[in-house]
Amino acid sequence: MRSLSIALVLQLVILSGCGHYSTSGRTAGDIKRIAVPYLENETAEPEIEIEITQRIIEGLVKDNTLKVTGEEDADAVLEGSIVEYGNVPFTFSNELQADQYRLLVGLRVSLLDKKQNTYIWQDKIIKKHANYYLETTTEQTYEKALEDIYRDIVEEILGATVQEW
Protein backbone atom coordinates (compact mmCIF):
# COMPACT_ATOMS: atom_id res chain seq x y z
CA MET A 1 0.00 0.00 0.00
CA ARG A 2 2.85 2.37 0.84
CA SER A 3 4.50 1.81 -2.56
CA LEU A 4 1.16 2.62 -4.22
CA SER A 5 0.99 5.91 -2.31
CA ILE A 6 4.56 6.79 -3.27
CA ALA A 7 3.84 5.97 -6.92
CA LEU A 8 0.72 8.15 -6.86
CA VAL A 9 2.63 11.08 -5.32
CA LEU A 10 5.40 10.70 -7.90
CA GLN A 11 2.87 10.75 -10.74
CA LEU A 12 1.28 13.91 -9.36
CA VAL A 13 4.68 15.60 -9.06
CA ILE A 14 5.60 14.63 -12.61
CA LEU A 15 2.25 15.75 -14.03
CA SER A 16 2.34 19.06 -12.19
CA GLY A 17 5.54 19.92 -14.06
CA CYS A 18 3.65 19.63 -17.36
CA GLY A 19 1.09 22.31 -16.57
CA HIS A 20 2.56 25.16 -18.61
CA TYR A 21 4.76 24.87 -21.63
CA SER A 22 5.44 27.36 -24.37
CA THR A 23 7.45 26.75 -27.51
CA SER A 24 7.76 30.45 -28.23
CA GLY A 25 9.44 31.46 -24.99
CA ARG A 26 7.53 34.73 -25.08
CA THR A 27 4.62 36.02 -23.08
CA ALA A 28 1.97 38.52 -24.01
CA GLY A 29 3.55 40.85 -21.44
CA ASP A 30 6.68 41.23 -23.55
CA ILE A 31 4.86 43.05 -26.34
CA LYS A 32 2.02 45.47 -25.70
CA ARG A 33 2.12 47.78 -28.74
CA ILE A 34 2.56 46.86 -32.38
CA ALA A 35 3.15 48.89 -35.53
CA VAL A 36 1.97 47.71 -38.92
CA PRO A 37 3.53 49.78 -41.71
CA TYR A 38 2.19 49.18 -45.22
CA LEU A 39 3.37 45.92 -46.71
CA GLU A 40 5.50 46.14 -49.83
CA ASN A 41 3.82 45.06 -53.05
CA GLU A 42 6.08 42.87 -55.18
CA THR A 43 3.21 41.90 -57.49
CA ALA A 44 1.59 43.56 -60.47
CA GLU A 45 -1.77 43.80 -58.65
CA PRO A 46 -2.29 47.50 -57.86
CA GLU A 47 -3.00 48.59 -54.29
CA ILE A 48 -3.40 45.09 -52.87
CA GLU A 49 -0.87 46.02 -50.17
CA ILE A 50 -3.16 48.80 -48.93
CA GLU A 51 -6.16 46.52 -48.54
CA ILE A 52 -4.25 43.70 -46.85
CA THR A 53 -2.41 46.05 -44.47
CA GLN A 54 -5.67 47.73 -43.47
CA ARG A 55 -7.29 44.32 -42.87
CA ILE A 56 -4.39 43.25 -40.64
CA ILE A 57 -4.67 46.46 -38.62
CA GLU A 58 -8.45 46.02 -38.29
CA GLY A 59 -7.93 42.44 -37.12
CA LEU A 60 -5.40 43.49 -34.48
CA VAL A 61 -7.65 46.30 -33.26
CA LYS A 62 -10.65 43.97 -33.07
CA ASP A 63 -8.59 41.31 -31.24
CA ASN A 64 -7.51 44.00 -28.74
CA THR A 65 -4.58 41.99 -27.31
CA LEU A 66 -2.06 44.48 -28.68
CA LYS A 67 -2.43 48.20 -29.17
CA VAL A 68 -1.73 49.31 -32.73
CA THR A 69 0.57 52.36 -32.73
CA GLY A 70 3.10 54.12 -34.90
CA GLU A 71 6.58 52.62 -35.23
CA GLU A 72 8.16 55.10 -32.81
CA ASP A 73 5.89 53.96 -29.94
CA ALA A 74 5.76 50.26 -30.80
CA ASP A 75 7.33 47.35 -28.95
CA ALA A 76 7.12 45.25 -32.13
CA VAL A 77 6.80 45.89 -35.85
CA LEU A 78 5.02 43.61 -38.32
CA GLU A 79 6.82 43.99 -41.62
CA GLY A 80 6.67 42.19 -44.91
CA SER A 81 5.61 42.10 -48.50
CA ILE A 82 3.08 40.60 -50.85
CA VAL A 83 5.14 38.28 -52.99
CA GLU A 84 2.49 36.49 -55.03
CA TYR A 85 -0.81 37.29 -56.66
CA GLY A 86 -2.38 35.01 -59.22
CA ASN A 87 -5.75 34.65 -60.87
CA VAL A 88 -5.60 31.52 -62.99
CA PRO A 89 -8.13 29.23 -64.68
CA PHE A 90 -8.87 26.23 -62.47
CA THR A 91 -11.65 24.21 -64.13
CA PHE A 92 -12.86 24.13 -67.71
CA SER A 93 -16.12 23.41 -69.50
CA ASN A 94 -16.52 20.80 -72.22
CA GLU A 95 -15.85 23.62 -74.69
CA LEU A 96 -12.50 24.26 -72.94
CA GLN A 97 -13.67 27.59 -71.55
CA ALA A 98 -12.61 28.48 -68.02
CA ASP A 99 -15.52 27.91 -65.62
CA GLN A 100 -13.73 28.44 -62.38
CA TYR A 101 -10.67 30.45 -61.41
CA ARG A 102 -8.24 30.10 -58.52
CA LEU A 103 -7.17 33.31 -56.80
CA LEU A 104 -3.82 33.12 -54.98
CA VAL A 105 -2.16 35.59 -52.61
CA GLY A 106 1.21 35.02 -50.95
CA LEU A 107 2.95 37.06 -48.26
CA ARG A 108 6.33 37.00 -46.55
CA VAL A 109 6.08 38.60 -43.10
CA SER A 110 8.27 39.04 -40.02
CA LEU A 111 7.67 40.30 -36.50
CA LEU A 112 10.48 42.41 -35.08
CA ASP A 113 10.88 42.91 -31.33
CA LYS A 114 12.12 46.50 -31.18
CA LYS A 115 13.18 46.24 -27.53
CA GLN A 116 15.52 43.32 -28.17
CA ASN A 117 16.23 44.23 -31.81
CA THR A 118 15.58 40.60 -32.76
CA TYR A 119 12.93 38.85 -34.77
CA ILE A 120 10.24 37.01 -32.85
CA TRP A 121 9.55 35.19 -36.10
CA GLN A 122 11.01 35.92 -39.50
CA ASP A 123 10.16 35.36 -43.16
CA LYS A 124 6.93 33.51 -42.43
CA ILE A 125 5.36 32.52 -45.73
CA ILE A 126 1.59 32.79 -45.87
CA LYS A 127 -0.15 31.51 -48.99
CA LYS A 128 -3.91 31.53 -49.32
CA HIS A 129 -6.21 30.67 -52.20
CA ALA A 130 -9.90 30.58 -53.01
CA ASN A 131 -11.82 29.50 -56.07
CA TYR A 132 -14.61 31.42 -57.77
CA TYR A 133 -16.88 31.07 -60.77
CA LEU A 134 -17.25 33.50 -63.64
CA GLU A 135 -21.02 33.02 -63.54
CA THR A 136 -22.38 35.84 -61.39
CA THR A 137 -25.35 33.67 -60.45
CA THR A 138 -23.13 31.61 -58.15
CA GLU A 139 -22.40 32.49 -54.54
CA GLN A 140 -18.62 32.36 -54.92
CA THR A 141 -17.61 35.47 -56.87
CA TYR A 142 -14.20 37.08 -57.33
CA GLU A 143 -15.01 39.59 -54.57
CA LYS A 144 -16.09 36.83 -52.16
CA ALA A 145 -12.96 34.80 -52.95
CA LEU A 146 -10.79 37.85 -52.23
CA GLU A 147 -12.65 38.47 -48.95
CA ASP A 148 -12.06 34.85 -47.94
CA ILE A 149 -8.35 35.19 -48.67
CA TYR A 150 -8.07 38.45 -46.71
CA ARG A 151 -9.85 36.84 -43.74
CA ASP A 152 -7.57 33.79 -43.82
CA ILE A 153 -4.43 35.95 -44.01
CA VAL A 154 -5.53 38.04 -41.03
CA GLU A 155 -6.37 34.91 -39.01
CA GLU A 156 -2.96 33.39 -39.69
CA ILE A 157 -1.12 36.59 -38.80
CA LEU A 158 -3.16 36.98 -35.61
CA GLY A 159 -2.41 33.36 -34.77
CA ALA A 160 1.32 33.86 -35.18
CA THR A 161 1.41 37.28 -33.53
CA VAL A 162 -0.98 36.94 -30.61
CA GLN A 163 -2.45 33.50 -30.14
CA GLU A 164 0.80 31.49 -30.18
CA TRP A 165 1.94 33.35 -27.08
57-86 per-position pLDDT tens digit: 999 999 999 999 999 999 999 999 999 999
Average pLDDT over residues 81-101: 93
The 8-class DSSP code of residue 14 comes to: H
- Judge contact between 47 and 145, C-beta under 8 A: no
How far apart are alpha carbons 71 and 119 in whole angstroms?
A: 15
Record the pTM: 0.78
128 to 48, 70, 83, 92, 96: CA distances (angstroms): 14, 28, 12, 22, 26
**Complete domains list, the chain, with CATH:** 33-163 (3.30.160.150)
How far apart are alpha carbons 128 and 103 in whole angstroms?
A: 8
